[in-house]
Amino acid sequence: MTYKEEFIAFMVRSGVLTFGDFTTKSGRKTPYFVNTGNYKTGAQAAKLGDYYAACIQEHMPDGITCLFGPAYKGIPLAVSAAASLYRNYGRDLPYCFNRKEAKDHGEGGSMVGYKPQDGDNVVIVEDVVTAGTAVRESIELFKQVAKVNMKALIVSVDRMERGTRDCSTLDELREDYGIKPAFKMVDTCAAEFEAQTPYYYSTYDTENEAAEELHLPQVGELAPHIPAMRRHLADAFGLPVEAVSVKATTEEHLGFTGEGLGIAAHAVALIQPR
């Protein structure tokens, strides 16, 4: 099992990733919900740092000056990732985070921890990207602190939400700030592990390994396969074929499935007492 697959299971065990029928803040329907506020123990923080460190080590084994965690949820992520990078890979990277309100006494300023310098290569460590507000604010903040290079954005889950224009939030960040995202995908549609929807590890780099591989089947393409799908499901559960129903829908253009950004599978079982 890869660290990405382990991470999905870890989110489920921690109560961070749940499945059902949810409505996002933007009003879109989604079959899953991610609440990183449910990480609350020392063991979870240590393990979470290990996963972020593994992602950073895989994509950026060198060339990083410091990690930055946007307040508030990004703070423990940057701290735990920095600790895991040192513990697991011997990389002693400084970290910093911002105050929501600049301090006007003592040392003052809006940054805590490492003080970024001109020319530094900074990696933003974030939990979930939806509208990209925290990332935008972070980039604008650094313009007032030092002339740094935003080398990467590491996130645990990309919600694949549409931005303010006719593209995803991450595409907007790429266009607005000249950074090139590459998606490291854990594709549940390819049955890499049992789950309901694709997840993405995102890092801003120079490649997109999903672009040429992901094909989203349409309802018409699935229809010829439904009889075989029913037979296989019936065999697996020991049921008569007529007890199994398989349906496909376009989602009426709602959510990430309706917008053609991914596909989702749902299973519903009717259980009756004997």
Active site amino acids: 103, 105
The one-letter code for the residue type at 162 is: R
DSSP 8-state secondary structure symbol assigned to residue 250: -
| Nearest CA among 265, 252, 266 for reference residue 28 | 252
Q: 176 and 148 in contact (C-beta within 8 Å)?
A: no
- How is 166-212 classified by DSSP, letter by letter? SSBHHHHHHHHHT--EEEEEE-GGGTSSS-SS-EEEEEESS--TTTT
Q: Are strands 66-69 and 121-125 parallel, antiparallel or unpaired?
A: parallel
| Nearest CA among 48, 58, 46, 86 for reference residue 152 | 58
